[in-house]
Amino acid sequence: MAEKSKILIIGGTGYTGKFIVEASANAGHPTFVLVRESTLSDPSKSSVIDCFKKAGVNIITGDLHDHERLITAIKQVDVVISAVGISQTQLADQVKIVAAIKEAGNIKVQDKWEWIGDSTGEFSVKAVRRLLSLGRARSDRYVYSWCPWVPKKCNIFAWRAELNSIPTSLALRNRNIPIDDVSCPLCHFGDESVDHLFSSCWVASSIWQYISSWCKIPLFFVFSFKDILDMHISVKVSDQWRAAIQGILIISCWSLWRARNDLKFSGKPVSIDKIISEIKALSFLWFSNRSKYKDVSWDRWCKFKFYPSEFGNDADRSHAVGPAKTLFATKAQVRRAIEAENIPYTYIHSNCFAGYLLPTLAQSGVTAPPRDKVVSLGDGNAKAVFNEEHDIATYTIKTVDDPRTVNKSVYINPPGNIYSFNELVSLWEKKIGKTLEKVYLSEDQVLKNIEESPFPDSLIMSISHTVFVKGDQTNFEIEPSFGVEASELYPDVKYTTVDEYLTRFV
């Protein structure tokens, strides 16, 4: 069985964090929690800490403001999940996690120009003279560098492809073989040449974007097949990782060619996810068994990932006002910082916490579901998503070792939990056998209430405005280019439906 990724959870003793810690430990992940010294001595947190210890969770003392301890903690793991609170200061402080991840060495540093003719990376006339004296750089003929741990069939394929000797449609036509359509069968946006298929085609571009994140190197762009074969030379990584990257690039091309053939000759649709899964599995199998580096394990082969504290709405798809607008802007700034450092990430959008809203039907000032009257923000028709906290944690941990979630937003939108406010009230009325009085506040009135309310009431009201008036949790399509839906990825998860949750209060 493949080893599971080591997970560090920051903010693990908070409302969301404790569910994620529990789910991580239950799933068998080596789990670490960064805990402040003051929290360890806080009587109100003692039961949570005791539960962590009984579950085998590793407690690491430190916080976001202790840079050295933060780095030490990050170096021990493969994945960091931030569950810090929703205050603007706490969210903004996540840039300190980004800086620590970069310094910890879990990712590749920013790219720069370097002279590959010398081990120092510095250009000099002496280095050029030495290359010439060795008889190198005197011919424009490319010499293929054989990868020793990759099977012969992959090496031979790469060698033939660089010589333009694989049977692409354009190559066959150039050899006077009648081909009616020479367009690329994957994208249909260009003639199928070697360079197009492996560099210009959008399928290939998607694969190279994934490879750059997985191998922890800056996003690269290739314009020819030769660029792909030489990519490993210029990266500043260890010899072991450079050897791995060389083979991964060759296997990626071989897997893409196999997928192309399956489409062309068997009619099998091309799935980028399946190609990536094959690249990961085969490269690990061959590298761990055929290379001289025998100590590699699956968890180290998996990429490092960072989960910022996103739990809630999508910060990049928000129509928020007031304090919520500032909150989401801070989340978006943290996202841009992560992306700028080329840190592989997953953004989790849990939408509404059931424990916050369902026990009161989102009514303020009450402690139980109302049985007489409800107040609706807006017309009550905007769709929202209500998820039980344990389910949110389960879906989050499911994504950790899943390549389909790398550099994606994961939306927890199970169909049994999507309700408008009117539908939610109607469901509750059926359960209690009574019709409630309904009061509807116009959007103008809601905005006025936000403006006149003190903080933090104004924050809660402005978040409710995005959910129940603007419908920001469901008013867009989840496109494969940026996101995936959790219940579709993991249909085996038995989640708690809104119907089941409300039954507890009847």
pLDDT single digits (tens) 213-223: 777 676 777 88
pLDDT digits (tens, 9 = 90+) for 239-284: 777 888 999 999 999 999 999 999 999 999 999 888 998 998 999 9
Q: How far apart are CA 498 and CA 488, in angstroms?
A: 18
pLDDT digits (tens, 9 = 90+) for 116-159: 666 566 677 777 777 666 655 444 556 788 999 999 999 999 99
The angle that helices 272-290 and 202-214 make with each other, rounded to 10 degrees, is: 50
Q: Which residues have CB under 8 Å from 94's CB, separation 6+?
A: 64, 82, 84, 308, 309, 334
Q: How far apart are CA 199 and CA 224, in angstroms?
A: 6
Is residue 389 pLDDT above 60, yes or no? yes
**Which one, of 316, 251, 253, lies nearest residue 284 by Cα?**
251
- 337 — phi, psi (to 5°)? -65, -40
Average pLDDT value over all residues in the chain: 88
> What confidence score (pLDDT) does residue 479 get?
93
Amino acid at 334: V
pLDDT digits (tens, 9 = 90+) for 462-504: 999 999 999 999 999 999 889 999 999 999 999 999 999 999 9
* Over residues 333-359, mean pLDDT: 89
> What confidence score (pLDDT) does residue 5 get?
87
Active-site residue, selected from the candidate residues 331, 398, 408, 470: 331
Tokens 């762009």 locate to 221
- 490 — phi, psi (to 5°)? -125, 70
Q: How far apart are CA 498 and CA 388, in angstroms?
A: 8
Is residue 374 pLDDT above 90, yes or no? yes
Q: Which residues have CB under 8 Å from 229's CB, separation 6+?
A: 144, 145, 158, 162, 249, 250
Q: Which residues have CB under 8 Å from 427's CB, separation 6+?
A: 419, 498, 499, 502
Q: Do 68 and 36 form a contact (C-beta atoms < 8 A)?
A: no
- 371 — phi, psi (to 5°)? -120, 5
200: DSSP letter: I
Handedness of CA 338, 343, 348, 349 (dihedral sign): positive
Handedness of CA 289, 292, 295, 300 (dihedral sign): negative
Look up the pTM and report it. Answer: 0.63
* Over residues 41-63, mean pLDDT: 93
Q: Do 478 and 485 form a contact (C-beta atoms < 8 A)?
A: yes
Of the pLDDT bands very low, low, confident and very high (cuts 50, 70, 90), residue 417 is very high
Q: What percentage of the chain exceeds 90 in pLDDT?
A: 60
pLDDT digits (tens, 9 = 90+) for 60-95: 999 888 899 999 999 889 899 999 887 767 788 898
CB-facing half-sphere around the CA of 241: CA atoms within 13 A: 17
β-pairing, 383-387 with 418-420?
A: antiparallel
Q: Look up 331 and say whether it is catalytic.
A: yes
Tokens representing residue 192 in the block: 């199928």
Helix (H) / strand (E) element for 58: namely strand 58-61
Tokens representing residue 324 in the block: 């919520």
Q: Do 328 and 318 form a contact (C-beta atoms < 8 A)?
A: yes
Of the pLDDT bands very low, low, confident and very high (cuts 50, 70, 90), residue 2 is low
Give the long-range contacts of residues 111-116, CB within 8 A, separation 24 or more: 111/217, 111/218, 114/234, 114/236, 116/233, 116/234
Expressed in percent and rounded to 5, the helix, strand and coil fractions of the chain are 50, 10, 40
Coil vs helix vs strand at 183: strand
